[in-house]
Amino acid sequence: MYIGFDDTDSPKGMCTTYLAYKMVKTLKKEKVTFLDFPNLIRFNPNIPWKTRGNGAVGLTISTDNPQKIKRMIKNLVEKYSDTKNGANPGLVFFEKQDIPDEFLQFSSKALWKLIHRVDAKKFVSKHNLDSFYLGNGQGLVGAIGVIGYKFLDQTYELLSYRNKSKFGTKRNIDHTKVKEMQEKTFPQTFNNYDKEKGRVLITPHGPDPVFYGIRGEDPSTLISASKLIKPEEKLHGYLIFKSNQGTGDHLKNKITLENFEPYTSGTITGIVSTVPIVMKGGHVFFSVRSGNDIFRCAVYKPTKITNIARNLIIGDRIQIGGGVRKATKTFERLVNIEFINVLELKKKLQTINPVCKKCKKRMKSKGKNQGYQCVKCGRKLKNKQVIKLPRLISKTLYVPTISAHRHLTRPRQRLGTINQKNQFSRKIQWINTF
Ligand code: ATP
């Protein structure tokens, strides 16, 4: 049985992964067999109503008593969802082994498009799915999506949870231990510590039950990495998820004029068609022409790639990735850029008054269309001189600074990596209660 659920949390509390932790602990007592790690799938990061990282969770189990298990799970969703503060949980069960293609299509759309909850509800009735929702049922989108998700590249995350008495209190974590952990486990883990800023990246900042999350390529490294953190606070336990985090999964779609709708994610390949302008706050705006279509783009200061954007010139061929932002009073609909891949750099030329070869002095213009003359020796030349200016950027991929990474952003060390080893085994301690 596949179990998908989403939208159980709110900015004021809970976390869907914590509900998964509670669920797995309960199911373990019921002697169900787990057939995979819990899946943590991040969907389109540009949808407006996500709490944080737009993550949904899925479990795959086998059981002799599906009705009882479904009842228990539904009760847990009801008990733990933070509906008071705006959560709209959705829960979906699917009991056949082979997942129909339509699930896969729904899931891959949820990675880059905005899906209306009405369509999720229609999907549920069409496939006669056993499901449950509270509030407006938006959570059904993620719940269906996580069941239909097909891994082509995967990462893992070990999420550790706090004891209830500590929820909402400050997380004390030793920076040096996180830094050491990163040094010892790199490149098998990623995005733990920002060396440039001296900032710990594994702890969330909200009131949710997560103490820290360590991301990496395989569960065993995550378990050893976690042992290096040694927080003073006694934690409740941990759960390891298989995930699409760090895979760049939301940027497989090509943005075209037809799908250039608010909240769409994807890439555009084209030619820079306007001079980049630096706006108040340091954000950079320019346009890209792809075929006959022109797309306005913005690069925001925190990404730290504004310097790259500023140095683009008309004619450069680039590929950009990002999400379409709704038009506001001040700005038209535009693409928020997440990466810039410079494919071809145009020569940057400047025409200047010619230099007198003899006197090494720049000549003066004699008036419109009348050429140039050296003020010292009187030598004349007809035309301006063309010089090549250095380009301050290279033909390479520019990604945001690590602190500005989204859950799905492919970190530099994962470029070109495809991790397909499914390492699920009962020997791995993928859930632990301390
Ligand atoms: P957290 O990361 O803390 O678990 P979250 O950021 O995942 O929180 P949710 O509260 O789960 O936020 O809200 C995301 C909501 O968006 C869910 O209801 C989910 O079903 C829905 N959703 C996911 N993908 C899409 C999509 N492509 N189009 C429309 N709705 C979506």
Per the CB < 8 A criterion, the answer to whether 261 and 295 are in contact is no
pTM recorded for the entire structure: 0.93
Which pLDDT score is estimated for 165?
A: 95
CB atoms under 10 Å from CB of 275, counted, come to: 12
Angle of the 139-148 helix axis to the 101-110 helix axis, nearest 10: 120
What are the backbone angles phi and psi of residue 235, rounded to the nearest 5°? -95, 165
Name residues of the chain where pLDDT drops below 50: none
For residue 141 and ligand 1, the question of a CB distance below 6 A is answered with yes
Distance 176 CA to ligand 1 centre (A): 34
Class of domain 155-248: alpha beta
Domain residue ranges in the chain: 2-150, 155-248, 251-345+391-407, 348-386
Local structure of 240: helix, strand or coil: strand
Which pLDDT score is estimated for 50?
A: 78
For residue 131 and ligand 1, the question of a CB distance below 6 A is answered with no
- 267-284: pLDDT as tens digits: 999 999 999 999 999 999
Beta bridge partner(s), residue 207: none
Best mutation site among 47, 57, 122 for ligand 1, i.e. most ligand atoms within 8 A of its Cβ? 47
For residue 41 and ligand 1, the question of a CB distance below 6 A is answered with no
Distance 369 CA to ligand 1 centre (A): 64
For residue 49 and ligand 1, the question of a CB distance below 6 A is answered with yes
Class of domain 2-150: alpha beta
Which pLDDT score is estimated for 426?
A: 84
For residue 139 and ligand 1, the question of a CB distance below 6 A is answered with yes
Q: Please calculate the CA angle 237-242-88 and round it to the nearest 5 degrees.
A: 80
Which pLDDT score is estimated for 273?
A: 98
Best mutation site among 7, 108, 159 for ligand 1, i.e. most ligand atoms within 8 A of its Cβ? 7
What are the b/e assignments for 391-408, b being 16+ CB within 10 Å? bebeeeebbbebebbbbb
Asked if CATH classification 2.40.50.1010 holds for the domain at 251-345+391-407, the reply, yes or no, is yes
